[in-house]
Amino acid sequence: MSEEQRPPGEEAAAQSAQPAPRPHRGPPIETADETLSERGEATAKRLAAALGADAVAAGGRGETPWARVEVGALARVLRRCRDDDALRMDMLHYVERIELDYVLASVAHNRKAIIKVDLPADAPSAPTATRLWQAAAWYEREAHDLFGVAFEGNDDLAPLLLFEGFEGRPGLKSFPLHEYEEY
């Protein structure tokens, strides 16, 4: 597997459990010059207070802080984000990547935050968020479609963007762009 074809977020997975870390061109995520705006800073404080020890790492840019959590803690973290009075993240913007990013937004407080979680690249799986936000249903279907992430508890993961019977996970970096032939 060449450098360019590595799925995003795999580096973090490699750090934790994967044997034989493969060479890659470095994590695209962590950078130095991330700065939060005033409102973002305030949101980050609230987020840290709500997450407590569950947050493994934290950062942010502009108005959107993020916090990285373990898969095991994901379900309770998401629930806390939605129900915590200081956060009240009542709208889910999307679910994404093998490093799943839950971009949360609060209509009540006009705040945004991102919850990150790393999934193993070979069998990515995460608990569903459909019981918290109805909007999660389609995002999860899409993530399942394009990246093959299994969402436990979401029993409707039928193909959404792809046709039924499509082979492969076209969202992954390992899926060729030009070499793929449809027919």
Partner 1 sequence: MSAEPQTDTVDMMLNMGPQHPATHGVFRMVLSIDGERIMGVRPHIGYLHRGSEKLSEHESYGQVITLFDRLDYVSNLNNELVFVRAAEELMGVEAPERAQYIRTILCELNRVASHLLFIGTYALDVGAMTPVMYTFRERERVQNLFEHVTGARMMHNYFRIGGLKEDVPGDFAERVLSVVRRLRAGVEETDRLLTFNEVYLARTRGVGVINAEDAISCGLTGPCLRGSGVAYDVRKAYPYEVYERLEFDVPVGEFGDCWDRYWVRLRECYESLRMVEQALEQTPEGPVMAPGRRIARPPKGEVYAHAENPRGDIGVFLVSDGTDKPYRVKVRPPSFCNLVGLERMMEGAYVADAVAILGSLDIVLGEVDR
Residues that bind partner 1 (CB under 8 A): 8, 25-31, 33-34, 61-64, 90-94, 96-97, 101, 103, 105, 107, 110, 112, 114, 133-135, 137-138, 159-163, 170-171, 173, 175, 177
Among residues 28, 5, 9, 1, the alpha carbon closest in space to that of 126 is found at 9
Query: Measured between alpha carbons, how far apart are the two ends of the chain, in Å?
Result: 25
Considering the complex, state which of residue 133 and residue 151 has its C-beta at the smaller distance from partner 1: 133
- For the CB of residue 133, give the shortest distance to partner 1 in the complex, in Å: 5
Compute the least distance from the CB of residue 118 to partner 1, in Å.
Answer: 14
Query: Cβ of residue 38: shortest distance to partner 1, in angstroms?
Result: 13
CB within 8 A of 170, min separation 6: which ones?
A: 146, 162, 180
Residue 172 CB: number of other CB atoms within 10 A?
A: 18
**Inter-residue contact 164 to 144 (CB < 8 Å):** no
Q: Which is nearer to partner 1, 43 or 74 (CB)?
A: 43
